[in-house]
């Protein structure tokens, strides 16, 4: 049950229809109101659900902050309800996690929806918010799902696996409204399909003028497209690094990369889309793609992978991801790893993993920071 203090207001009657002009033809005019929005979603996984049941009613566990629409948010998890009347339920709240000193600024207007991950996943991002109310958020304040799900229902559902469950929070930040005159829609203009066309060009190999050999497989592509998307490709195919690579028919060999990773890199270069992967494989895929993006100077792809990896940090992956962040200069990802390790239980569990042994060998400079953290929280 979502609290909403904004009662429905009675709308005034519409103005009377204007009279038809003397010429016999009605005048055609139109205007429109546009909402300037930014949207995104965040996945929050609660590990060790059974242990959180010991948290008293009304007390919360805060998620790590995350950014959507230019603002910082967090989700508060109440394992035994936000108050005594709903003690048999899990309550969740979405909070604007920003400094109080900006409290004088206008409230952030946003639509939001929180659901158990896996429910209606086929919907496009934000589709569930089409009819949601636009709520005001101020620093340190938010909105609560008081009866998000009963513990009995959660514990009997497929959403609780290995004592963990995941919720998905969709947010649409409404940054501004503007009114504009609009032409009468005699012509309907479709969305730009450049992304689809370029992806089709890669798939059909039509007009391809360069061939890459990766792990025993060959991949055909278009030099101009790759050069426009990557300075490394530009230098390799047209610049001083090209050697014979720019000649038609020459095969460019790519070392130390799996074919599926290179194909995903090219797909992003053409379409701006990530490959479709199973949820359990997402973190490994993003690790490989981050390395490839760094190698070919594709900064946006690298940042997308870095952002997704920040959401996938757990005991089994923390050390490996931290080593990756150090080796590829990902400061945000490195901070997220240390934030995860700041919990004593997490640090103790990570130290016992094979990934931590790899970290100590590959990034000895990080060990001083980890040891300092260990001493500070022991």
Please give the full DSSP string across 210-259, using - where no structure is assigned.
EEEEETTEEEEE-HHHHHHH-HHHHHHHTSTT-TTTTSTTPEEEE-S--H
Residues sharing a CB contact under 8 Å with residue 375, sequence separation 6 or more, in sequence order: none
* Structure confidence at residue 5 as a pLDDT band (50, 70, 90): very low
Residue 197, both tokens: 């066309």
Predicted confidence band at 241 (pLDDT cuts at 50, 70, 90)? low
Residues linked to residue 165 through DSSP beta bridges, in sequence order: 46
User: Which tokens in the block code for residue 184?
Assistant: 């009468």
Give tens-digit pLDDT for 39-85.
889 999 999 999 999 999 999 999 999 988 888 899 999 999 999 99
DSSP strands (E only) in the chain? 31-46, 61-62, 66-68, 71-78, 89-96, 108-116, 135-137, 142-150, 165-181, 210-214, 217-221, 251-254
Residue 18 confidence class, pLDDT cut points 50, 70, 90: very low
CATH classification (class only), 34-177: mainly beta
pLDDT tens digits, 303-335: 999 999 998 899 999 999 999 999 999 999 999
Q: What is the mean pLDDT of residues 239-250?
A: 58
Residue 2: closest CA among 109, 145, 147: 145
CA separation for the pair 48, 163 (Å, rounded): 5
| Close Cβ partners of 319 (under 8 Å, ≥ 6 residues apart) | 350, 353, 355, 356, 358, 359
- Average the pLDDT over 184-203 and give the result: 82
Separation of alpha carbons 21 and 93, rounded Å: 55
Q: How far apart are CA 296 and CA 233, in angstroms?
A: 7
Q: What is the pLDDT of residue 1?
A: 47
Q: Among 184-193, 232-241, 360-369, which is the least confidently predicted range?
A: 184-193
Q: Which of 31-40, 116-125, 194-203, 288-297 has the highest mean pLDDT?
A: 288-297
pLDDT of residue 365: 81
pLDDT bucket at 240, cuts 50 / 70 / 90: low
Q: State residue 69's pLDDT score.
A: 85
Q: What is the spatial distance between Cα 95 and Cα 372, in angstroms, rounded to a whole number?
A: 32
The listed range with the strongest mean pLDDT (5-9, 99-103, 265-269) is 265-269
Tell me the C-alpha distance between 150 and 78, whole Å: 12
| Backbone φ and ψ of 249, nearest 5° | 90, -10
Please compute the mean of the pLDDT values over residues 329-355 and round it to a whole number: 91
Beta pairing partners, 253: 213
Judge: domain 313-377, CATH 1.10.3720.10. no
For domain 193-240+249-299, the question of CATH label 3.40.50.450 is answered with no
pTM, two decimal places = 0.53
Q: State yes or no: pLDDT of 288 exceeds 80.
A: yes
Q: Where are the domains of the chain?
A: 34-177, 193-240+249-299, 313-377
Which residue do the tokens 């007390």 mark? 59
């Amino acid at each position: 049950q979502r609290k909403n203090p904004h009662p429905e207001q009675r709308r005034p009657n519409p103005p009377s229809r204007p009279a038809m002009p003397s010429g016999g033809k009605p005048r055609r005019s139109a205007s429109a109101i546009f909402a300037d929005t930014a949207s995104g979603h965040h996945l929050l996984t609660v590990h060790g659900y059974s242990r959180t049941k010991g948290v008293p009613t009304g007390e919360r566990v805060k998620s790590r902050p995350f950014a959507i629409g230019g603002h910082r948010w967090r989700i508060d998890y109440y394992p035994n309800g936000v108050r005594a009347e709903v003690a048999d339920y899990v309550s969740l709240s979405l909070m604007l996690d920003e400094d109080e000193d900006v409290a004088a600024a206008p409230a952030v207007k946003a639509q939001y929806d929180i659901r158990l991950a896996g429910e209606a996943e086929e919907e496009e991002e934000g589709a569930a918010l089409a009819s949601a109310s636009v709520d005001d958020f101020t620093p340190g304040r938010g909105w609560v799902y008081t009866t998000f799900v009963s513990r009995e229902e959660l514990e009997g559902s497929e959403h609780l696996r290995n004592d963990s469950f995941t919720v998905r929070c969709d947010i649409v930040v409404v940054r501004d409204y503007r009114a504009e005159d609009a032409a009468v829609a005699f012509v309907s203009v479709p969305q730009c399909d450049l992304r689809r066309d370029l992806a089709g060009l890669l798939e059909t190999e039509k007009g391809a003028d360069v061939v890459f050999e990766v792990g025993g497989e060959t991949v055909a592509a278009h030099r101009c497209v790759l050069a426009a998307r990557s300075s490394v490709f530009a230098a390799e195919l047209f610049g001083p690094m090209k050697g014979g690579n720019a000649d038609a028919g020459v095969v460019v060999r790519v070392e130390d990369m799996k074919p599926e990773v290179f194909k995903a890199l090219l797909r992003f270069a053409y379409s701006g889309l990530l490959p479709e992967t199973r949820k359990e494989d997402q973190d490994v895929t993003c690790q490989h793609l981050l390395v490839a993006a760094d190698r070919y100077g594709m900064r946006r792809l690298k940042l997308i992978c870095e952002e997704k990896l920040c959401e996938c940090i757990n005991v089994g992956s923390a050390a490996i991801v931290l080593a990756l962040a150090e080796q590829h200069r990902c400061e945000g990802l490195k901070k997220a790893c240390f934030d995860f390790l700041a919990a004593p239980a997490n640090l103790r569990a990570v130290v016992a993993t094979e990934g931590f042994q790899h970290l100590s060998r590959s990034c000895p400079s990080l060990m001083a920071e980890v040891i300092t953290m260990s001493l500070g929280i022991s």
